[in-house]
Amino acid sequence: MDKGTANNMFEALASGVRLDIVRLLVRHGRDGLVAGEIAHALALPRTNLSFHLKTLTHSGLLTVEQEGRYQRYRADLRAMQGLIHYLTAQCCVEEVGDCELSRASEIASNE
């Protein structure tokens, strides 16, 4: 991932509404949701929602697939993992000894 792509993703997530959309779609995993279901779950007007879905899709955080007259949105978990990797790729390169990120991963996997 390059800096521009990461920046676009962070800009897209800078809205509370868009952050709610992404978190909702992450919960629904591979099934995703159609736009009307997202609007209903978050009590958003559909016209407002379409603006946010377009922003998230263009940033690469969501994928969209046409299903008849509906569009199904899914969180792009690989893209999100790529963003996390971009942030942590240089973790502790200037530090001698154990990396804080490695310890945090071990703790999380033991919980």
pLDDT band at 54 (very low <50, low <70, confident <90, very high): very high
* Residue 105 token pair: 């991963």
**Residue 3 confidence (pLDDT) above 70:** yes
Residues 6+ positions from 86 with CB-CB distance below 8 Å: 1, 6
What pLDDT score does 47 carry? Answer: 86
In single-letter form, the type of residue at position 104 comes to A
Domain 3-110 belongs in CATH node 1.10.10.10: yes
Supply the DSSP string of 38-67, one letter for each residue.
Answer: HHHHHT--HHHHHHHHHHHHHHTSEEEEEE
Helix, strand, coil proportions of the chain in percent (round to 5)? 65, 15, 25
Q: Would you list the domain boundaries of the chain?
A: 3-110
**Residue 110 confidence (pLDDT) above 80:** no
* Cα–Cα distance, 16 to 41 (Å, whole number): 15
What pLDDT score does 79 carry? Answer: 96
Its pTM stands at 0.83
- Residue pLDDT, tens place only, 20-41: 999 999 999 999 999 999 999 9
pLDDT band at 96 (very low <50, low <70, confident <90, very high): low
Give me the residue label for tokens 């868009």.
18
